[in-house]
Structure 1
Amino acid sequence: MSVKKSAVADEIFDRLDTNGDGILTSEDYRASAEQFLQSYGMGPSSPKGRALIESNQALWERQAELVDRDGDGRIDREEYREWFDSLPASAAASGVPSGSPEVMAVLHAQFSVADRDGDGVMDLHDFTLWRDLKGVPEPNAAAAFALIDSDGDGAIDWRDFTGAAAANGLEALLYGPQRG
């Protein structure tokens, strides 16, 4: 695995490893969802909260199926790196198969939570806040927003996001078009 690819794998692994024990479990994926919800002052029993937790659990189940070689219900760093190294370059950029149903469900649920007023659209402020919570610097988030807001009206909806993902790749929308 290249040094850059290994660094990206480790960055994603560390972000997923919410308790910092060096092992990914379903509890990490649930905790990640709950932490995200707390950032927005939302509880796990709210409709948006349930949707995010359920989508994170579905993502965990799919990743466990693909990555957990020994079937122990845990993914260690080495298993994650080996799986990550097996991904095509376009999928490895985001750490998961780009556009997989599970990934898109998590992103849609996060998008819904980040749309604080519930009108189905985010402005630049809402979008940069969402990405900041995932460790993306404001300039990178602003550049990603510009890719998504193709009509320049200052607002994006989920269809804008998915259309831009198809045109520009998911990594550019999640981390900014000039990542690393």
Structure 2
Amino acid sequence: MSTAVANDRLVKRFEKWDTDGNGVLEAGDFQAEAARIAKNLGKQADSPEAQELVNAFQVLFEGLAERVGVSATGGISQDQFLATTKEMLFEEGEASFNRALGPVVNALVNVCDEDKDGHISPVEFSSWLTAVGVPDAEAGPLFAQVDANGDGRLSEDELLRVMREFHFGTLDVELLG
């Protein structure tokens, strides 16, 4: 794993989540990102799935804010974001990463899982990726890279693994756009 690749990916994540482009991450940025994803998946803003996604992103923001020592109404600078996410990824490891992103992945599964079977099918996966900005032509072929056990569906554990591997720089499938 290249720390340069991981750093580039975290910078990109910061820039993507800084939805208003003001150079700091705020609760409103996370709420806007969640609302955008839900809308792109055809969910009404007041639907239970969209609200769950917004709440999960809010919890993620609050956890990051607490870690860097700012209030839930404050802002997280890029340097603070990079320092705390690198600490979570490279020093604290899988359990810390899963605690932070697990609720977001759970909410994403719920918002994407049209047949409500608790897993993501290839079609649902493609919808998810296009909703977060991956071109449709690229979304379909990525499923096979992500479906580690080859059962034709993705569990939350598989999706968390992919997010970790992406941020570690060992896989090029970006689930958060």
TM-score range, shorter chain: 0.7 to 0.9
TM-score normalised by L of structure 1: 0.75
How many angstroms does 1:76 deviate by?
1.1
Q: Secondary structure at the match of 2:96?
A: coil
Match of 2:25?
A: 24
Output the amino acid matched with 1:134: V
1:59-98 superposed matches below 5 A: 59-67=60-68, 69=69, 71=71, 73-89=74-90, 97-98=96-97
Deviations 1:102-133 (A, max 9, x none): 42111111111111233433211211321343
Q: Secondary structure at the match of 2:84?
A: helix
How many angstroms does 1:8 deviate by?
1.8
Match of 1:126?
A: 124
Structure 1 unpaired stretches of 5+: none
Is the 8 Å Cα contact of residues 109 and 156 (structure 2) preserved in structure 1? Answer: no
Using the aligned pairs only, state the percent identity.
22
User: What is the aligned-residue RMSD (CA, Å)?
Assistant: 3.3
Is the 8 Å Cα contact of residues 33 and 52 (structure 1) preserved in structure 2? Answer: yes
Output the amino acid matched with 2:57: N
Structure 2 unpaired stretches of 5+: none
Q: Does 1:161 align with 2:162?
A: no
Change (3 A) 1:124 1:78: same
Change (3 A) 1:165 1:34: closer
How many angstroms does 1:5 deviate by?
3.1
How many angstroms does 1:47 deviate by?
1.2
Match of 1:99?
A: 98
How many angstroms does 1:41 deviate by?
1.6
Moved more, 55-64 or 118-127: 118-127
TM-score normalised by L of structure 2: 0.76
How many angstroms does 1:169 deviate by?
6.1
Match of 1:51?
A: 52
Q: Number of residues paired by the alignment?
A: 167
